[in-house]
Amino acid sequence: MNLHSKSAGKYDFLFISLVFLLSFSYVSAKDETVIKLEAIEKRMAVLEQENAKLTERIQKLEKAGTEAIVEQLPGLIPKDESDKKAFFDKFRREFKSSQDQARGPWTTPEPWTKIRKRMSEYSIRETLGRPTRMRPSVKPSVEVVYLYTGDLNSDGVDEEGYVEFKDKRVVSFQSPHQSK
């Protein structure tokens, strides 16, 4: 045997060993991936079962809640006509008030504390939200007035705030939450 064939045999052995190790690690990695995928599939199946149970439970609760309201409704509405009228008037005022309160940030006192003279119209809209009405002013020192109006405390009386502008800047304002 010559030196060349001995070294070629060593390299062949190293090459075969390297191929074997790489293929073994590939198979090992492939097995780990399969195991991980199977575990994920099992967890998904459990989650899907839990989701189905929760969905069924929610549907039962919603149905039971609606039925309970329907059963209680006749007892909530007064029988006497004058009491019934007062009940529905109060209901209407509270419903309108809740709609007015949902109109934007202007319905709470906190944004009004941020208002300052010389603020831009854009800043006012960002802070208070859209006004309920806008109108031109008859005062020479005011061009436009933003009105913020709504029944914010369910008393049947609309509270009103305003912001007055000249050259697109605040010149005066009043919160609907200030006592008059």
Distances (CA, A) of 84 to 92, 98, 153: 12, 21, 22
Domain for residue 148, yes or no? yes
Domain of 125, in residue numbers = 103-174
Tokens of 82: 């004058």
Q: Which helix (H) or strand (E) holds 136?
A: strand 133-136
| Alpha helix ranges (H) inside the chain | 3-76, 81-101, 109-112, 121-128
Mean pLDDT computed over every residue of the chain: 82
69-82 pLDDT, tens per residue? Answer: 777 767 777 778 88
Tens-digit pLDDT profile for residues 83-125: 888 888 887 777 776 676 667 888 889 999 999 999 999 999 9
Name the pLDDT band for 143 (thresholds 50, 70, 90).
very high
Q: How many domains is the chain partitioned into structurally?
A: 2
Q: Is residue 95 part of a domain?
A: no
Task: Categorize the per-residue pLDDT at 3 as very low, low, confident or very high, splitting at 50, 70 and 90.
Answer: very low
Residue 97 lies in a domain: no
